[in-house]
A = this chain, B = another copy of it.
Amino acid sequence: MKGIFYGIGVGPGDPDLLTLKAYKVLEKVDLVCIPKSRMEKESVALNIVEKALERKLDILELHFPMTKDQAELARNWDSNTEKIVEQLNQGKSVALITIGDPLLYSTYSYVMKRILKNHPEIKVETIPGISSAFACASELNVILTEEEESLGIVPANADKEYLLKAIQSFDNLFLMKVAKSYDLILEILEEVNFHGQAYLISRCGHPDQLITSNLQEMKGKEIHYLSSMLIKKGVK
């Protein structure tokens, strides 16, 4: 019998933000896959899970190098998917863990898509995780949305036009991975004469978490790659 494939979101940092479901599956699953962009780097997702669990996990590290070459990306997703399928075919249950939620800008998505398409006989179960947007708002005690307001969740690794449009379109905006475009975002906020509330949050839920609403203070400084901004236009 083939094993079940689980995609598990482990939240942004605090091990206690794992769901009961994630915890229960991770306590019994045969194999845990860790996607890594660089093999020598520590896995944030694994660190979170190891803090939450009692047991020792059986680990399979998978290399998903970052590249702009779409063909190479596809080849890596294909071959990593087949490595997972090999384990499932042996009857093992396999979980792939990711920080935040597994269906929001996550490597898991690409693997899931391939398994559903090429191996329809395999049972796939996705277990949602707390996305950093929600964890950050909770850390801040700041309302994400009320009444008829919208919330936009958008990656910040885009160009100025894209970011400007996002800032204009949403009542509340959560910008993910702002490290490289931080100064540009401040510039846009100035241009649109922004007068709402905005926060920078780095490493949400980790022991070295940083939160500030003094955005100017961080201008020009090195910002951790696990950083986001919550931008609230209308504050009641």
A residues lining the B interface (CB < 8 Å): 7, 9, 11, 14-21, 23-24, 52, 101-105, 109-110, 112-113, 116, 124, 126-131, 134-135, 137-139, 141-148, 150-155, 157-158, 162, 166, 169-170
Contact = CB atoms under 8 A, between A and B. Distances in A.
Nearest to A130: B128
Contacts of A24: 16
The oligomer's copy count stands at: 2
A105 B146 CA distance: 5
Contacts of A103: 134, 137-138, 142-145
Contact of A102 (B109, B138, B158): B138
A158 B148 contact: yes
A141 B127 contact: no
Contacts of A113: 143
Contacts of A153: 145, 150-153
Contact of A19 (B7, B110, B130, B158): B130
A220 B170 CA distance: 31
B141 A148 contact: no
Contact of A138 (B11, B127, B141, B155): B127
A143 B116 CA distance: 12
Contact of A17 (B21, B158, B166): B21
A153 to B, nearest CB: 4
A134 B103 CA distance: 8
A151 B152 contact: yes
A146 B109 contact: yes
B19 A18 contact: yes
A105 B150 contact: no
A104 B144 contact: yes
